[in-house]
Amino acid sequence: MAAEVLSAGGVAVTLYERMPSVGRKLLIAGRGGLNLSHSEPFDRFAARYGAAAALLKPALVAFPLSDLVAWAEGLGQETFVGSSGRVFPKSMKASPLLRAWLRRLTARGVVIKTRLEWRGWDAENALVFQSGANVVRDTGDIVVLALGGASWPKLGSNGAWRKTVVARGIDVKPFRPSNCGFVVDWSDVFRSRFEGEPLKGIELSFDGKTVRGEALITRAGIEGGAVYALSAPLRDAIEAQGHARLHVDLRPELSEAEIAGRLERQRSDQSAANALRKALAMPPVQINLLREVLGKALEGGATLARQIKHLEIELRAVQPIDRAISSAGGVALDAVDADFMIRGLPGTYAVGEMLDWEAPTGGYLLHATLATAVTAARAALLRLS
């Protein structure tokens, strides 16, 4: 996006990428439909960035949803707002957008050099890139670093740049998983039977925050949209105390009394599992989750109703960063100015996920990534002029 704005402003741009092709993480994001942004009111939208909202807000104002939609549509990708308020391209893919974008950048003269990893600066302050034994040096009036975070390193963003940037005296916070899964000690029986099964329409709560949505039972534990939304406070709690208890409501649309009433109306000679199936249409994964977590045979009536509304899953660890959707950590927010220019490095900007901010899934990651690049590139154009 920085290359887009700078080249549109008439600047000669060279884009270096360590992988054989660019935009690999964007393409993976496309597998989930490419959630570009969210249509909720701006104040709620900006609040999703937590402590980073103050720094990011001006960039989000300068590149609002309408501009993001116009950019996607300019690349032939009409967008729509899903029932959850999330914004997607109608194609629900990243590849047509990326193809059109690369065509446009190339037509504007942007030179894309792949398989070259940025390794830092040499004694003359030139940028040093390396591919095996091949070392390339380059200088620019403007440098935009957009090196990503440290999740899914096989897609290119491995966070290896952190050492180089720290050595230059810039504060870079350690990377931590964000929008990540958690480790649960499932029994072998539960794991082998229910790995890959979704828990639909549930409500998760932790530390005063409640999210309705879906979670997924995995080999290692639990992940999915609703879990990701609580992942920052869960991660912080596990880092501080070694564990966290995730509160689960399996039937958020019913009160405890309504559930108890429905269970009481069932025949008393049938098993609790049968009663749950008939009274609440509860799928096997949920019935067995109750058994798994409670560690005993299910009782009926009011006790069971309470357990359905107040199940607590013990999370033992955070899943590794290479499986997380995004990462927290990166260039400290006070190491950059309001235009994302690195303090003490005039003309060098840091944008996107490599900055120390985090946000839930829902389009917030891509929108802020693009917005920070737009702001930095517009500031760079002013600086050049």
Ligand X SMILES: Cc1cc2nc3c(=O)[nH]c(=O)nc-3n(C[C@H](O)[C@H](O)[C@H](O)COP(=O)(O)OP(=O)(O)OC[C@H]3O[C@@H](n4cnc5c(N)ncnc54)[C@H](O)[C@@H]3O)c2cc1C
Minimum Å gap between C-beta 307 and ligand X is: 34
Among 77, 79, 369, 375, binds ligand X (CB under 6 A): 369
> Residue-wise over 82-94: b if at least 16 C-beta within 10 A, else e?
eeeebbbbebebb
- Write out the H or E segment, with its range, that includes residue 183: strand 182-183
Residue 230, classified by CB atoms within 10 Å of its CB into exposed (0-12), middle (13-18) or buried (19+), is buried
Contact pattern for ligand X over residues 191 through 230, marking x by CB under 6 A: ----------------------------------------
Among 8, 14, 16, 238, binds ligand X (CB under 6 A): 16
Is 45 among the residues that bind ligand X (CB under 6 A)? Answer: no
Is 325 among the residues that bind ligand X (CB under 6 A)? Answer: yes
Rounded distance between C-alpha atoms, residue 292 and residue 222, angstroms: 14
Tell me if 180 sits within 8 A of 323, measured CB to CB: yes
Contact pattern for ligand X over residues 57 through 86, marking x by CB under 6 A: ------------------------------
Rounded distance between C-alpha atoms, residue 303 and residue 285, angstroms: 20
Minimum Å gap between C-beta 16 and ligand X is: 5
Among 366, 371, 376, 379, binds ligand X (CB under 6 A): 366
CA 209 from chain centre, in angstroms, equals 18
Residue among 46, 104, 108, 98 nearest 77 (CA) = 98
Is 353 among the residues that bind ligand X (CB under 6 A)? Answer: yes
Among 28, 102, 211, 273, binds ligand X (CB under 6 A): 28
Among 60, 65, 72, 365, binds ligand X (CB under 6 A): 365
Segment lying near ligand X (by CB under 6 A), choices 70-78, 216-224, 246-254, 348-356: 348-356
Residue 39: C-alpha distances to residues 92, 301, 336, 353, 358 (Å) = 17, 42, 28, 21, 19
321: tokens are: 């960063």
Chain residues in the site for ligand X (CB under 6 A): 16-19, 22, 24-26, 28-29, 32, 34-35, 117-118, 146-148, 151-152, 156-157, 161, 325-326, 352-354, 363, 365-366, 369
